[in-house]
Structure 1
Amino acid sequence: MNDSLVIIPTFNEKDNIRLIIDAVINLPKPFDILIVDDGSPDGTGEIVKEIQVAGLPNRTLHLIERQGKLGLGTAYIRGFKFAIEKGYDYIFEMDADFSHNPKDLLKLYEACTTGGSDVAVGSRYISGVNVVNWPMGRVIMSYFASIYVRFITGMPVNDTTAGFVCFKRIVLQTIDLENIKFIGYAFQIEMKFTALKFGFKISEVPIVFTDRTRGKSKMSGSIFKEAFFGVIKMKVDSLFKKYVPA
């Protein structure tokens, strides 16, 4: 077993899954991979099983199959628990669609192993706006969403909604994962906010985010609604909560 696990949630990613696994396993540092598949009707899980049977050199490919589309946040929570049980030291979140460059896993790993960070965030906004192939309206919405979150929460993080993250195991062991409430992209905000409340150090690593070229986006209006109103409730609730390690 390697010291690092990359968690990749999937739903209907048959066009990307084999390619993203190949890209991760061909990095110079070995990363194990966990696919959390929400019952993809397009056969994503079956492709992962085929790769498992073939085997990977010096890497382990895990698969957790769930029944139905249960949400991004719950997929990561399931993956975090798996990583803790298996004893991985560094646990990564990454999308399956190449919006996150697998080569940047190395930068996040370095930030946590030698850079003194407990949480390393692959940031689109730490050095300008580094987004490729998004419509301008979505770029503006995402950028100002992070400004809004920073204003409400006081988080010193430029890319609060980023989904390309490395956590040290101690962070996930300290946070009570059962009390993480959000299931959409607001989950990313809640995890960073909670880590900061427990006193962990978060750093941002500049990346270029490239919109998917294969498959279909899972973004929806309900996801933005959860984030917009949920952030206010999260902040208010934090004023009456003691952050005691789980």
Structure 2
Amino acid sequence: MSDSPTLSPAGHVRDDSAKHAAVRQRHEQMVHLVQEMGFATIGALAEHFDVTPQTVRRDINTLSDLGLLQRYHGGAGPSVSTENVDYSSRQVICRAEKRRIGELCAEHIPNRSSLFINIGTTTEEVAKALARHSKLRVITNNLNVAGILSDNENIEIIVAGGVIRHRDRGIVGESAVDFIKQFKVDYGIIGISGVDMDGTMLDFDYREVRAAKAIMENSRKTFLVTDHTKFGRNAMVRLGSIREVHAVFTDKIPPQSVLDEMDRGDTKLFVANMVS
């Protein structure tokens, strides 16, 4: 019997998934290493991971495009904390993971519930999964969410007023915050741009953070939906501690320091099963 890898009908080697998993693991370790060191040279990273400098350069370019590292001449540093990745790029980052996170979160929201859904590509995946529910009342400051749910006549949609951000169709500003504060709902579904290693939830726009805080304050339960790339990612504006939410829905187990903070707040963890 041959030891050579067999081909799938599409002509791909079946061990490709193992190779991709190894690359993903190296990327995650590289991000954590750079965050700990503050700056790492290409040579040091190549030696640490036992790969060529060309491979490291490709890794840095990929991670920089994802907003997870900052590319510099000769090496890499932590991602900047003042500017988010553009919306179109965020739509394709961890697309499958976000879809499963959205589906898992929706499973914990019963029909006839009231809820807030805020701005973000992962919260939009929750909305897609909720589109099959009935008798929901949804308040949102995200025009994309409103559009996703509008085809279901059994879902009542209430859209906050305020300033529309053209880049992602989110609604922000004092009017949006005041509008949100008029309601008290069963569930608040929020996304986030980053979670520091001490469990601090972070974002880039203070106006979006004010709306998210209003959602947390006026929801009986708050669910945070976020993919694993957000853990350890920097952003400038503080939303609060992860222990302040009732449950976290993600695709991988968070770092231990974040888990410790969740334990302090009795925050539940739900990890989406990914189909290989």
Tell me the TM-score normalised to structure 2 length.
0.29
Q: Relative contact order: is structure 1 or structure 2 higher (C-alpha 8 Å, sep ≥ 6)?
A: 1
Question: Which structure has greater strand proportion?
Answer: 2
Bigger Rg over Cα: 2
Q: TM-score, normalised by structure 1?
A: 0.31
